[in-house]
Structures are given as structure tokens and as C-alpha cells.
Structure 1
């Protein structure tokens, strides 16, 4: 009897072995080849991959090896920014975010820090001192500030580590023809870009899980990467999706927060003639003067990239909107991404604006032809862009103004108080015809590279100039020590590149007021713009007192 049972078991085992061998032979074409990515990689979440990337040969295998994942919202995620700031992105399932009560970031040890709203769906908090010496850094939870703090290690398996802003795919734009992904940590040095042929775009569910498709990268420059859209069938059954960059066959995709969307339809309505785009941090005090002035001379719409402001920017923008000014704010917390921000602004607004002025809120366009004008008019800026179709960019030189004796922000604004400047022109800023921007979107903040067939027009100071109120009262100026926003400019706190034109002459690496600061950079007394703005914008109140139109 025992021998009969043994024989039966052996027969069954041999049957299954032969069946498995036959199936493997018949369906071998469905398995990845030796040079394709292995199945272990396919089953790992993109944000957990360490030494693997989704190869092109593996894309067709994904449909065979697993059924489509269920739709799930993204989990709560966080990014460690510079200066120990934490950007917290709660999951859409987090009800605490909409409670309206004071909130805090609750870390795994029970330590907390105040959570301040940052943009429409995010919060900023500080990593507590007690956690800065320990690795890894875990994503905090959003908690009501009044709740009892307690740690949560062991309640999540595994806990999510913070992403790092120094290596992150942080934004994407879908055009009709391709996808543009903005990524930190790939092209790390100016003019040393990895070849597009060595890179891939990787598409994966935002909730985590394996990648569903990859496509070729067609352009790699600075922090902007262009690639083809994935096949619609790969991204139609589940969502939302994210997109990242892989730097090689054995390299993990860069961690990503960049959401991917299929391209929408063309924008409705006509294009505006002139818009302005800038990146701001705590610029609410200066914004009304800048907007009121430039709107009066012809700028029709303003795009602000908010680099984590902590002042009254939101309320100031709201007030300007109620006064009829067209001002749009985009939350852009990513450190040292000014070039990428300008590239983003150029591509997403191409259908809305013909020309874009890339200038800062302490820079004012002016022409000596306007010296005798009694009133501003919207054709003033228009006269600067009245050029032939071959002109893709207009370069305007800067005149840099000093503190002019002021120890605090001058009454009436920068145009009224800062009237003494350096003699020589320094650098330039540009008005860009958006259709003329190079496919790479490369820019140096001051100007863009252009497509073939377009040229840059250099404007002489006698025709137009940019009043740059760069060296203000020390109390205002020292805020620049916080961080330079350009990806390729050394922060002033670093004792490097001290001869850079970005730094004031003689200024060291510490925010200490130089002796005689209030009278520095004063070589020419220049009141042209002050006099013009007094004629144009002075208002008389009922009590007879005068004020500028931008004073609240």
C-alpha cells in the first residue's frame, strides 16, 4: 500500500514538472530577454529601486506579468529642503489638512514643529534640532497642534523616508508634442549636461509601484528634460501618474513628485502682447509698486513664482486682483531653481503671451523718451517690442542704484527713495518672444537661447534701460544672504567666488553691514524715474496729503 502511494505522488510531481517545462517553452517569447530588466525590478516601486531601471524591452512585459494596479491616491510625502525646512505634502485622504485649526508636523519620535500653509495643498515646517543628527529622516504626519504628541514608529511598515530637494523630479509640463520634466541632481554643473541619449523618462503610478512605461529623452539641458509621451494605453487604466528620469540601464529613477498629465486642448482666446514673470521670496512689500508701474506702461499679466514666501504675499496679490490687476501666483518652493522656473514660465504661457519680460521686483523698465510724458500709457512697453519678426529677444541694460542715504525702506517706494546709482551699466535683462525660445529652454536668467532663425536685439541705454534697485537700505539688502535663487550662483554665505558680479564689491560672506553702506554705489544722481512716477502716480487725499498710487 505504501509503495502504491509513493508511486502516485511521484507520478503527479513528474506531471507538473513536464507541464511547467512545456509552458515555459511555449510562452518564452513573453519573458524579457537577457539584456532586458529582470522581473524583480519590475515588481519594485520606482521610489524604492536602487540599482535597476525599467528598460525599453521590458515595457511590453508589464501587461503580461501583472494585472493593472488599483487606483490609489498618493501617500503623504515630504521633501527636505535647504536650511532644514521640510515640505510636507499630505495625502488627499488626510482630513486634518482641511480642519482649519492650527497644525503641526508630528515626527516619529513625538517631536513637533509648526506647520505653515505653503501653496494650495502643502505645508512647510522645520526639522526639529533633536532629529538633525540622526539618519534616516522620516516623513512626518500632519497633526492638530493641540493633540497629544506621540511617536509613530512601528505603526507604518515601512516608514517613508523624506525625499531630498537636491535629487528630485519636481515638476512636469505636457505639451502637444512631448513632456518636459524638471529634475534636480542630473545636470549638476553649468554647461555640463548629460547627453539625452543616455537618459530615459520613467512613468509610474503616483501611489507607488512598478513603472508602466519609459520613453526616450530628446533634450537634456540644465534642469529641463524633454521626452516623448508614453503610449496612451499604458497610462489610461489607472492614475494619477508621475514621471521621472533614469540616468542609465542600471540606475534607479530619480525620486519624483512630478505629476504626469496627458496634454490638453489648445488654449482658447487670443494672446496677450506683453506679460512679466519673476520669482519672489518675501516680496509683498515691493510688489504693488512694481505691478502698478509696469501695468501702466503696458504689461498685461504678471506671473509670480513664489519661492516659499513667509510674508503677506497672498493677501497683497488678492488686493491687487480686486483693483483690476491680473496677477497669478504659482507655488514654487524648490531651492535654487530660478533658471528652471523661468523655463517653466516660458513654456506654460506660450499660448497666453507673445512677449515675456523676465525681470525682478526691484527692476523697472524705463525709457528717457518718457521723460516729458504727463501720463503713462500702455503703448510705452509696446514701442520696445515693435520689431521685425526675426527678433526673438530684446536685451535691456541695467543701471544699479545704491542705498542713497537710506537706512530703512523709503516712503513711497524704491522709485522715490533710491536716486543715486553707479555710473556704468551692469548686466542686462530680457524681453523674450516666447515662440523664439530654444527647444532646450536654456537660459542664464538674464537671457534665453533662441531657436535657429531668431536673433537678439541689444537696446542702448538711451533707448531704454532697467533701473535696478539692487543695493537698498541694509535692513532690506541683507535678506539676499538667505539664499541666491539661481542654480549656478554661489550663496553669499559661502566664501567662494568672491569676485562674482552677483556679489556687491567688497562684501564678504557674512551679513555684516559694511562701513559707509548708506552712501555706497553713489556715482550719478539720477531722478528721471522718480520724477516721472511722481507725475504719473501721485494721488491727493481728501485731507490734502499726497501719496503714491501703490501705497495702501
Structure 2
């Protein structure tokens, strides 16, 4: 027994040493001697700073090699998004033309261990790549470098200390400058939906994009969900400091949270807005939507809504992996006014709509906030031989105090289809639920409250404006929500709303945002193709067949 005890002592000591090391690594920021790091008033650089040295990982003890030397423009910063995806930004001083924008196969993310991952373009100067599985167990997570065939091995012999990835849970991710203030979009400050929050103690913090001392601090004047407004910094501070970034701090002694949001001065913002206004007059009706892998649905949706009165379309590309850009290029070549804005931020639909409303206020009078599977339709329109712009136009012939027109939705099911209908959703899905569902809104942009608060379905309006609800027998939104299973299960990737549980989360199972008969796993329910079918409704099918069929065989526009 004594021998066994002696033999066990070294193993026990090693285990205790291992456990203590692991505990210190995980909870190092909670220790008393670590707290001093957070007491410096506004002393933290606004983005994740370079690591002075590699920290050993006591849990895995994986050796970390030095990164190879890359050209200065290839040294990047990044944000770790959900699903282990790294969003990598080139520095503003880099020449983004070094990297191809159309063929992502020639660019890769090079991680600190030497592992690589293919990189896909995510707008100008940004790429997305997946964090390799074996790196997910190793803390901290370092920003990868972007490498391509244009870099020779000889130029990759040394590497500056790497940056840690910024965490998406607490991040300033966008900003917009108006003539009067700056609007900041951030995660991790407000976690409540639907109400404006107190601005007490909240500050906008401005600092050089290259790092360094803070140059200005202004008080937040409005705080709602992920949207914050504050005054511009003094012009003298801006002109003397070069490129700036903006962040948020929750108190006078709190450190600003990490940021990737560049600050634009009022003068620069007004010049950009004047140039846009000079290019085209203000449109009567526009449409804004969050888009993820909707390329094959786009032709039908844009052609239909352009026909009934929508002048411009704004697509917020939320990480699409299909041929969205090619689809938009085809539509533009056909004369449709469609624009893509890369919006890589997961679960930010409310903030994206706020952004869309404020940046397009001078270019659009009214904005329809609808999804690509939603079609505005009035049974009375079927009497017309062809669509015309007065159809949607009739909805905005209202009292000047009407700030938004809200329209009830009807939800359609798979209608017997097991695959995407070759002639489009309006032709293929004709069976729906009887009950009325939620609503979508056509919003007067000048009537939106300064907070930009919205619930996706409608906006909070400024004082003096009110909403008008349309009768269901006059106008409705056909929502082709429950499509063929192959299409519907794509939604399990992620919900786009900030405050709605993802499909795969086992919570809020009784919510209206959940699908009846479906759990939290992408498992096809028995009889799916015939579910959600209570009323045979062919109104929009017959109207679009009359308006958009291109020959006697009733082939639809865009049908292959």
C-alpha cells in the first residue's frame, strides 16, 4: 500500500500543477493583479492589439511557430464570427488590388501554426475563412495572414507579432456619419429588444486607426438595441489625427470595446452624399432586404416588384456563397436598379435595416422592408393586363402624417413540391395557411424616429407620425415561407434577427418564430411537402402568369 502511495504522488503533483496552470490561464483576467490593466482611463487601443509574445497554452501544449514574413499589406486584423468563421480585414493602407476579388481560390488564410484555409472575398478589402478544427482547442485565437500566389517564399521569412482575433460578442462593427452626428453599430452593449436604453455613462471614443492615444470623446445621445448616436468630435481633433476609428465605452473609467468601424468626418460624408444625389433623383419607393444565398430567387422577386412600382433595390449580402453578384450583374444589365452592400455581420437584421434606412434617406422617399420570399399583392391588380408603377404607388397616397403602411402576411407551404419550382415560387407554391400572420411595412424614411429602432416588421416613428394598417382584402404580402424541404433547411444555418433564437437552439420552442412540427434539428418531418396547406390560393400565380410569361408555353421570365 505504501509503495502504491509513493508511486501515485508524482502523478498527483503533475496533475495539480497542470490544473493550477489551466486555472490561471482561463481566469487570469479575474485575478486581483490583472484588474489594474482595466483601470486606465481610455488607455486601450481600440482594436485588438498585437501580442507581445506567444502565450503557452497549458491545456493543449501545442507548439506555435513564428509566422513567415509577409508584405506589409498582407498583415491583417480579424473578427471571430459564429460557426468558427474568421472575417479578415486588410489594413486601410494596403493595396487591395493585390488580392483578386473574383477568384477566392488564389487567396488563403495562413494561421500561426502553419495551417491554411481557403479565403473567400467579403467585399472590398475583406475575406472570410474557416478556422481549422485543430486550432479551435487552442487559446488565444490569432489573426491569420492573407497569402496568395503573388507572394514569394523569400518575402515570408519573418513576421511581426500577431494580433488576437476580436470577439464578435463585444464589438463596434459599423458606423455612419450624418451632417449632425455619427451613428455607431455595436454588439455587447444593449442586450434587450424593442426599447430605447439609457445613455447614461455611454461615450463614443475616437482614436487613430493605426493605434495610439485617444483624440476625442463625445457623449452618446441615443441608444436603442445595437444602434447608438453621438456628436462628431471637434474638427480640429479630426484634421490633426488622420484616419480615425470610433468605439464605445460604457463609463468614464471603462475601456473602449474593440472596433473595426472607421470614422468619416461630416465633410467627407456630405461630399459622398452630394455625389450620390447628383447621380440620380430621389426615388419614390425602394426595397431593402437581407440576402443570404438568394441568387436563384432574385430575378423573379426583382422583376415583379419593379413592375408594380419599386424603383431601387438594396441587398445586404449577409455572407452569401452562391452566385449573388453574377445574378445582380445580369439584372443591372437588363435595366433594373439593384445594389449590393456587403454586410457580413451575423444576426444583425434589425441593425442592417436601421443602416439601410439612414444611408438611403436622401435617395428614397419610402422603403419597403421585405424578404426575397415575400411578394406584395392586391387581388384587385389581377384586373390589369400588365403590372404598373401605380400599384405600389397607390399605397403611398396617404396623409403626410402617415409614417408607415403596414401590410398583413399570409404564409404559403410547399404545396406538394419536393424541389424548387422551375418556374418560380409564385407559380409553384399555391397552398397556404388560413390564419393571418405577421406584417411587413412600407416606411417613410423621413418619419423614422431618431433612434432608428425597429423590430424588422415595423419602425418606431418620430412624434407627429402614425402607422396605417391595410385591410387584408385590399393588400397583403404573400410569404413563401415553408418551401420545398431542400430550400427550407438552408435556414438552419442561422437566423438573421438579433433577438430570435437560431433554429438549432433548443429554446423558445413555442415562439411564433418556430415552425410547427419542427424541432431544433434539420430533420425533415413526415409529410413536409403537404404541410401548411389549408387554402388553395392562386391569385398571384394567375396574375404573374398573365404579366410575365414570355411565350405560349407560359415560360416565365428568368425560367431556364
Query: Is contact 1:181-1:225 (8 Å) kept?
Result: yes
The answer to whether 1:284 aligns with 2:295 is yes
Q: 1:198 is paired with a residue of what secondary structure?
A: coil
In 2, the alpha carbon distance for the partners of 1:451 and 1:404 equals 42
1:321-376 superposed Cα distances (whole Å, 9 cap, x missing partner): 00000001000000100000000000110111110000000000000111221110
Closer/same/farther in 2, CA of residues 206 and 515 from structure 1, 3 Å limit: same
The structure 1 segments of at least 4 consecutive aligned residues displaced by more than 4 Å after TM superposition are 38-44, 72-75, 92-97, 145-150, 191-194
TM-score by length of 1: 0.85
1:252-283 superposed Cα distances (whole Å, 9 cap, x missing partner): 11111111111233534531100000001001
2:470 equivalent in structure 1:
459
Equivalent pairs, count: 490
Q: Which one has a bigger Cα radius of gyration?
A: 1
CA offset at residue 237 of structure 1?
A: 2.1
CA offset at residue 167 of structure 1?
A: 1.0
1:9 equivalent in structure 2:
none
The equivalences for 1:22-421 within 5 A come to 44-47=44-47, 76-94=76-94, 98-100=98-100, 102-144=106-148, 155-157=159-161, 159-191=162-194, 194-263=197-266, 264-265=269-270, 266=274, 267-268=277-278, 270-421=281-432
1:27 equivalent in structure 2:
none
Q: Name stretches of at least 5 consecutive residues in structure 2 with no aligned partner.
A: 1-37, 50-71
In 2, the alpha carbon distance for the partners of 1:497 and 1:43 equals 41
In 1, the alpha carbon distance for the partners of 2:326 and 2:445 equals 30
Which of 529, 547, 552 aligns to 2:555? It is 547
1:436 equivalent in structure 2:
447
In 2, the alpha carbon distance for the partners of 1:271 and 1:92 equals 32
| CA-based RMSD | 2.4
In 2, the alpha carbon distance for the partners of 1:368 and 1:340 equals 33
Query: Is contact 2:41-2:253 (8 Å) kept?
Result: no
1:18 equivalent in structure 2:
none
1:149-202 superposed Cα distances (whole Å, 9 cap, x missing partner): 99x998323x21111121111111111111100001100122465411220000
In 2, the alpha carbon distance for the partners of 1:74 and 1:257 equals 17
Q: 2:408 is paired with a residue of what secondary structure?
A: strand
In 1, the alpha carbon distance for the partners of 2:477 and 2:157 equals 55
Closer/same/farther in 2, CA of residues 99 and 85 from structure 1, 3 Å limit: closer
Query: Is contact 1:74-1:206 (8 Å) kept?
Result: no
CA offset at residue 551 of structure 1?
A: 2.5
In 2, the alpha carbon distance for the partners of 1:375 and 1:198 equals 57
Closer/same/farther in 2, CA of residues 43 and 450 from structure 1, 3 Å limit: closer
Q: 2:355 is paired with a residue of what secondary structure?
A: helix
Query: Is contact 1:292-1:550 (8 Å) kept?
Result: no
In 1, the alpha carbon distance for the partners of 2:339 and 2:555 equals 26
1:13 equivalent in structure 2:
none
In 1, the alpha carbon distance for the partners of 2:74 and 2:234 equals 22
- My pick for the range that moved more, 186-195 or 231-240, is 186-195
2:433 equivalent in structure 1:
422
In 1, the alpha carbon distance for the partners of 2:74 and 2:92 equals 7
Closer/same/farther in 2, CA of residues 44 and 358 from structure 1, 3 Å limit: closer
In 2, the alpha carbon distance for the partners of 1:348 and 1:143 equals 34
CA offset at residue 448 of structure 1?
A: 0.4
CA offset at residue 292 of structure 1?
A: 0.3
2:502 equivalent in structure 1:
491
Query: Is contact 2:315-2:340 (8 Å) kept?
Result: yes
1:270-324 superposed Cα distances (whole Å, 9 cap, x missing partner): 3110000000100101111000000000000000000010000000000000000
Closer/same/farther in 2, CA of residues 488 and 149 from structure 1, 3 Å limit: farther
In 2, the alpha carbon distance for the partners of 1:74 and 1:236 equals 28
- My pick for the range that moved more, 405-414 or 115-124, is 115-124
1:177-231 superposed Cα distances (whole Å, 9 cap, x missing partner): 1110000110012246541122000001111112100001000000000000000
1:105-156 superposed Cα distances (whole Å, 9 cap, x missing partner): 0001100000111112211100011100111111100112697999x99832
Q: 2:300 is paired with a residue of what secondary structure?
A: helix
In 2, the alpha carbon distance for the partners of 1:193 and 1:145 equals 49
